[in-house]
Amino acid sequence: MALRENQPLSEVGEFELVEAIVDNFPQGEHVLVGPGDDAALVRAPKGHVVVTTDLLVEGRHFRRDWASARDVGHRAAAQNLSDVNAMGGRTHTLTLGLTLPGDLELGWPLEFARGFAEECAKVGASVVGGDVTRGDAIVVAVTAIGTCSVAPVLRSGATPGDVVALCGRQGWAAGGLTVLKRGFRSPRVLVEAYRRPEPPYDAGLQAAEAGASAMMDVSDGLVADARHIAAESRVAIDLRTADLEIPEPLEAVGSALGVEPMDFVLTGGEDHPLLATFPDAASVPEGWRVVGSVGEGSGVTVDGEEFAGAGGWVHF
Amino acid sequence: MALRENQPLSEVGEFELVEAIVDNFPQGEHVLVGPGDDAALVRAPKGHVVVTTDLLVEGRHFRRDWASARDVGHRAAAQNLSDVNAMGGRTHTLTLGLTLPGDLELGWPLEFARGFAEECAKVGASVVGGDVTRGDAIVVAVTAIGTCSVAPVLRSGATPGDVVALCGRQGWAAGGLTVLKRGFRSPRVLVEAYRRPEPPYDAGLQAAEAGASAMMDVSDGLVADARHIAAESRVAIDLRTADLEIPEPLEAVGSALGVEPMDFVLTGGEDHPLLATFPDAASVPEGWRVVGSVGEGSGVTVDGEEFAGAGGWVHF
């Protein structure tokens, strides 16, 4: 039976569905056994194993009217690849779990799989296994497994005197989400940044090799995530707005919507740039921008002052 | 604020919830960085990496009135540990994703975590990371990562002349599920077998070392899963009912409910015994039972005849 992309999943056999999804996942040379057996088997590069996992729930982490299935596939992979990147590691293997409603059209998981595969290909990682089951809502469960070939960079290693540096876009996704929430579709570059973040996948290892003392990816907001490094390292961090870039489209959205564009940069999440600390400015690698400094004390300040935005307490 | 187990999750902070769950997961000596950083970091034993993942959805894979949260935790871990076992590997590391409704009481995820941790402790594996998010239904996403220190045993290696052997309980969980479906709670030993399967975690490596030619765990049914080995190995398999044990409680349930007890053994899933083929009876290790033979051809027969039960086509 030929499958049509507009066919509801309730009319598709489970094995056919799995096969159609798996067809999108090329298996790298390091994969000895891919999907289909009890478990997958992989030859991993030498080094420590890095593992991370994330769930995306429709309505909470994505909306089908704001992002295509392919976009969601890109984003689901990106946020996990980024977590491995933030340790100084590189992902070689991923697993994917999907719960899908029966009335969803087949095209959704297939387009999702294409986007997921495209994002994984950026770092040469293979999707070796997964599970697909019926559920009332779309839930995406991703686990990324990588190797850290150098000493891993944790959140806890910053010391007073270090400089704080950033690599990658920051605030773009928040700008894109804001215009989507207000019913607009432009500036297109921001909407695209929200739909498909572009984490700097080469920067994690680069920073680790350059001697970064602490590192994480910015997924919840620059100030909010800097607080994690400050807390784990038992130091104070000061961010300098003069060194934080406000790209032209964020300026445009800010003045159009009456929002301070620096707020996107300070509080926006989901761009997945890397935030790291280095012993001095000279050790900060190319492509990174020094945006602050580490001192004695605790907490995060912006231009030396308490930051009022980006609340702390999150209710489940 | 002190947490109470009967508190609805909507009143619990996300970080508090994660902390309360993570408290149940001791970190083994091989774990260099556990939960809390961007990703976890693990020192893995030498060998190939074995990876598997599974989703459990409430209402589809478990019911809260048929199994306690602790039972579901045991089962969610067991089915993944079993998949690694079925390759001849051993799990060292797991990740856990949970989507939880806001009106669920805190006690559910905490009891789940206790059961999950207890099952993982059986093989010395650590739960190093996870993700918890709000969702309309309970979805459990597990990934198990292990090491195969010997040549892995796939489904595709059986050859004509091999013997087929089984290790572990088979049919018990199906018997337990059947009595639960009819509103009974006994025989208790069967209900318990359904709630907490007991896969033979030492038998996978044992079989691999003994020269097993093919192996898998029985999760969907003995005949149904034997068909996978037959198909992947391009051989025929004949199972002999005279060699399949029918335990006393299954006899009792059979006569009480008017069900042929051998049906539980031939078609029941979720016990997770191992089904393997060996070059001859002499190489079958202790604790395993020879239950059939491998021949030329294709498909699975029972006592030399086509088996009518255990249908093939599964609609999503």
Q: What is the mean pLDDT of residues B303-312?
A: 73
Is B163-306 the same fold as B11-148?
no
Select the residue from A3, A12, A37 to test the B interface by mutation, using most B Cβ atoms within 10 A.
A37
Q: Does B19 touch chain A (CB under 8 A)?
A: no
Task: Tell me the backbone φ, ψ of residue A109, rounded to 5 degrees.
Answer: -60, -30
- In chain B, what is the straight-line distance between the N-terminal and C-terminal CA atoms, in Å? 44
Q: Which CATH fold would you assign to the domain A163-306?
A: Phosphoribosyl-aminoimidazole Synthetase; Chain A, domain 2 (3.90.650)
CATH 3.40.190.10: does it fit domain B11-148? no
Q: What is the mean pLDDT of residues B178-203?
A: 95
Percent of chain B residues topping a pLDDT of 90: 92
Task: Tell me the backbone φ, ψ of residue A294, rounded to 5 degrees.
Answer: -105, 135
What pLDDT is stored for residue A1 in this prediction?
59
- Please give the helix or strand (H or E) that residue B134 lies within, else none: strand B126-134
Q: Are A94 and A144 in contact (CB under 8 A)?
A: yes
pLDDT exceeds cutoff 60 at B188: yes
Q: What is the mean pLDDT of residues A212-216?
A: 98
pLDDT exceeds cutoff 50 at A262: yes
Select the residue from B50, B105, B143 to test the A interface by mutation, using most A Cβ atoms within 10 A.
B143
Task: Tell me the backbone φ, ψ of residue B58, rounded to 5 degrees.
Answer: -60, 140
Q: How far apart are CA A4 and CA A107, in angstroms?
A: 8
Q: How far apart are CA A285 and CA A212, in angstroms?
A: 10
What pLDDT is stored for residue B153 in this prediction?
96
Taking alpha carbons only, the member of B117, B210, B272, B284 closest to residue A38 is B272
Domain ranges of chain B: 11-148, 163-306
User: Nearest chain B Cα to A130, which residue?
Assistant: B53
Q: A316–B9: do the CB atoms touch at under 8 Å? A: yes
Q: How far is B181 from chain A (nearest CA, A)?
A: 21
pLDDT exceeds cutoff 50 at A65: yes
What pLDDT is stored for residue B1 in this prediction?
59
Q: What is the mean pLDDT of residues B4-28?
A: 94
Q: How far apart are CA A304 and CA B46, in angstroms?
A: 49
> What is the Cα Rg of chain B in Å?
20
Q: What is the mean pLDDT of residues B294-299?
A: 97
pLDDT exceeds cutoff 50 at B314: no
Q: What is the mean pLDDT of residues B287-306?
A: 97
Residues in chain B: 316
Q: How far apart are CA B273 and CA B193, in angstroms?
A: 12
Question: Mind listing the pLDDT tens digit for each residue in B119-142?
Answer: 999 999 999 999 999 999 999 999
pLDDT exceeds cutoff 90 at A128: yes
Per residue, what are the HEC states of B4-63? CCCCEHHHCEHHHHHHHHHCCCCCCCCEEECECECCEEECCCCCEEEEEEEEEEECCCEC
Q: What is the largest CA-CA distance in chain B?
A: 67
With bands split at pLDDT 50, 70 and 90, how would you rate the model's confidence at B312?
very low
Mean pLDDT of chain B: 94
Q: Name residue B157's amino acid.
A: G
pLDDT exceeds cutoff 80 at A310: no
Q: Name residue B302's amino acid.
A: V
Does the annotation flag B52 for ligand binding?
yes
Cα-based distances in Å from A183 to A57, A196, B127, B257? 22, 19, 42, 60
Mean pLDDT of chain A: 94
What pLDDT is stored for residue A309 in this prediction?
66
Q: Are B145 and B94 in contact (CB under 8 A)?
A: yes
Q: Provide the CATH number for the domain formed by A12-148 in this structure.
A: 3.30.1330.10
Q: How far apart are CA B20 and CA B2, in angstroms?
A: 11
Question: Mind listing the pLDDT tens digit for each residue in B37-88?
Answer: 999 999 999 999 999 999 999 999 999 999 999 999 999 999 999 999 999 9
Q: What is the mean pLDDT of residues A205-219?
A: 97
Q: What is the mean pLDDT of residues B193-200?
A: 96
Q: Name residue A235's amino acid.
A: V
Question: Mind listing the pLDDT tens digit for each residue in A141-177?
Answer: 999 999 999 999 999 999 999 999 999 999 999 999 9
